[in-house]
Copies of this chain bind each other. A is one copy, B any other.
Amino acid sequence: MALTLYELGGLDDRRYSLFSWRTRMALAHKGLTPDYKPVRVSDKAAIAFSKQDKVPILIDGETVIHDSFRIAQHLEKNHGGASLFGGEIGQALARFFNSWVDRTLLARLAPMVWLDLQGIVDEADARHLRGVMEKAFGKTLEELAANRDKDVVAFRRLLDPARASLRSQPFISGAQPAYADYILFSLFQWARIVSPFALLEPDDALAAWRERMLDLHAGLARSVSARA
């Protein structure tokens, strides 16, 4: 059955949507290869067929699914290959992990790298993205990024519970990576595509984990154009 993934595309074909990276890695985990359709963030007409305005969107045969977590649930239910969740409890706890990453980490990460995002999209998208972020935070992108050398220290501390997991296992999900790893990894993949800013110190256990994630699935995440 044909699979198509709609995702954000920037200049030089940069695929910078972090939520799409969760889906990209989940598809690869299942041994699935979709057709990729890049969409400019300001071009809502291109995804009007989905009756909502956000990517990623996965088309799987007759089914149209949006929201990265729902896409992962769909893949788990309808496709074989390695498990993304390892059962009901694992899926429930991955849902918690998803909320933790989005509510705790993403809100701290975005201000540090959003300014750099301006450099990898076209002018209309740059204006659109600036507007979204400056409205949400009530500050200019320049103001938001101004203290990032200090802000990143607090960001690294927030990662402590994930770092603790890596003391006894190579991946957040245990001996092998699974969907929770892709959730957290998506932040770092997004950041390295849009910005040269160093999020982790080289001796951080999470930096070694990130390298392992970049190696997965024949280097799927490492192979794309990035700035860090």
Contact = CB atoms under 8 A, between A and B. Distances in A.
A4 to B, nearest CB: 27
B89 A169 contact: no
Contacts of A96: 93, 97, 161-162, 164-165, 172, 180
B103 A174 contact: no
Chain A interface main SS type: helix
Contacts of A171: 92
Contact of A161 (B83, B103, B162): B103
A100 to B, nearest CB: 4
Given A86-B87, A88-B86, A88-B174, A164 B93 contact: no
A92 B90 CA distance: 9
Contact of A89 (B87, B103, B162): B87
Interface in A86-112: 86-97, 99-100, 103-104
29 contacts: A83-B89, A85-B89, A86-B86, A86-B89, A86-B90, A87-B87, A87-B90, A88-B174, A89-B90, A89-B173, A89-B178, A91-B174, A92-B169, A92-B180, A93-B93, A93-B96, A93-B97, A93-B172, A93-B180, A95-B164, A95-B165, A95-B168, A96-B97, A96-B164, A99-B161, A99-B162, A99-B164, A100-B161, A104-B161
Interface of A: 83, 85-97, 99-100, 103-104, 160-162, 164-165, 168-169, 171-175, 178, 180
Q: Which 3 A-B pairs have the closest CB atoms?
A: A86-B89, A92-B174, A93-B93
